[in-house]
Amino acid sequence: MKRPAVFFDRDGVLNQDSGYVFEVSKLRWIDGAREAVKAANDAGYFVFVVTNQSGVARGLYQESHVEALHRWMADELTKIGAHIDAFEYCPYHPDAVIERYRQVSQRRKPAPGMINDLLERFPVDVSRSILIGDKPIDLEAARAAGVQGYLYSGGHLAQFLRPLLSLKEQE
């Protein structure tokens, strides 16, 4: 049975974008972010995170740091009965200082690779799915994958999301 999904960008949507966040001690949730994830869960949506993590390619931190932060975020969400179905990140960048990460990747937004990979792995109803991002490249990736994108520019994330969930349910 196909279900709709909410794809969240991470930095600037779920957590404050304070520049290359990879340490638990430096992550600050956006107001209403955890509640937004729970609202999507409660509405029966898959919830995914799709995030460019060029700090890996720039040598600022390692993939293990990204994965540990995502595990911590997931653990924090379980405390309010919420969950992320999958975290996807792209460590690649064409100007990487770490050679193995120096490439153009279809997983790096604005390319739709992370979204497409999730669409292949999960039974997602694309027509009722949305992406919440804070940059035009997020919306470009959504459009390229056939998902409706919405630009989040601040405020309480759950209040931003709830009307969008209701709108998609009416379609």
The catalytic residue among 11, 85, 134, 138 is 11
Span 5-170: which CATH code? 3.40.50.1000
Q: In the predicted model, is pLDDT for residue 48 greater than 80?
A: yes
Task: Tell me if residue 17 is catalytic.
Answer: no
The catalytic residue among 9, 85, 134, 138 is 9
| Residue 60: predicted pLDDT | 96
Task: Tell me if residue 9 is catalytic.
Answer: yes
CA distance 163 to 161: 6
Q: In the predicted model, is pLDDT for residue 168 greater than 70?
A: no
| Residue 169: predicted pLDDT | 63
| Ranges of each domain in the chain | 5-170
Tokens of 87: 């975290």
Q: In what order do the strands lie in the sheet with 148-151?
A: 86-90, 46-52, 5-8, 130-133, 148-151
> What's the pTM?
0.96
